[in-house]
Amino acid sequence: MALQIPEPVRALIDKIPEAEWMPRAVASTADIDSVLRTPDDRFEGLPGYPFAPNYLQTPERYGQSLRIHYVDEGPRDAAETLLCMHGEPTWSYLYRHMTPLLADAGIRVIAPDQVGFGRSDKPADRKDYTFERHIRWMSDVVEGLDLRNVTLFGQDWGGLVGLRVLCHLPERFARVVISNSGLPGPDFPEASPDEPGMTTDAFLTWLRVRLIVPSWAGMLKGAMRTKTLTDAEAAAYEAPYPDESYKAGSREFPGLAPLWRGYPSTAECTTAWNEVLSHWDKPFLTAWGEDDDVFPLPEAPRLLIDRIPGCKGQAHTTFPSGHFTQEEQGPLLATLVRDFLEANPLPAR
């Protein structure tokens, strides 16, 4: 996203205490006390989203068994399964342009709503969310549905969480497509709120803005670069949140970023890079929106292309779009994914 912050908002974010917006130095280990569930009628009649809901109940973890929603389109017995991981502050609605095109091509498309988003359960306290918990919950989806020969498509936090799930369950994944995302590591700088380190000034600004922006719908409308979201489409992104109490997960997600040495999940990301990603030789494609201050060209995709063996020889591409590439260029991405799968067929059984 290209962050264009009005001066009145910038004045507000400059007053937010560092302790409130900086990523937490210690991840919570407390059990989850309260869980919210968005009423079903909030999802009725959303434009372009006709998909039947599907649910998976996780094992009890962190004091709660949670209900996770996922879209499941295309043949259940398809040879190809695409796991579509959204980020923040979106949900599986983001994949509505891609899903039918890929399902019609004979690909099973699984698009879960991460915990705290969409139709999935929403722990009520921001401290209920950690990066490692998100990875465990999404691993529950992959294992619970017994997904194999998976191609991961990850954007924004869908890439961070998805790549860590892949590193946890590498035998279940066959290919990767990353769009405007990545995974921090393997090395991390010392913590400093005034220095971007491995991230960007735009993301440091977003760490503040996410605490005060009143509506995700308005933010998403402003983030578009090649299209205009209709009011109904923008409202669909706000549908999971009847009021502010439902937004704990979406408010907290940016603050879970592993950016600085010794912070939560930095050790785990280092291990993921050193033990899995730096040796990953299965097909790995980058498909990048060109107008994104958070994951900018050319540096962001190069961090993957130069370090992951499976990127070699692939048709890495860029195209006109802001940060939310699935929203702006969904049909194009569906074509890129289909062509990538055809160019890199699964090994014969």
Residues that are catalytic? 156, 292, 323
CA distance 123 to 37: 9
Among 266, 263, 269, which Cα is nearest to 167's?
269
254: preceding bond cis by omega (within 30 degrees): no
Read out DSSP for 65-88?
A: --EEEEEEES-TT-S-EEEEE--S
- Name the phi and psi angles at 55, rounded to 5: -135, 145
Q: Which residue's entry shows tokens 């998909």?
A: 51
The DSSP symbol for 30 reads P
Among 129, 119, 223, which Cα is nearest to 180's?
223
CA distance 268 to 178: 20
**Count of other CB atoms within 10 angstroms of residue 23:** 20
Kindly provide the residue ranges of all beta strands, DSSP E only, lying in the chain, ordered along the sequence: 35-36, 54-57, 67-73, 81-85, 108-112, 122-123, 150-155, 173-179, 284-289, 317-319
DSSP helix/strand/coil, 105: coil
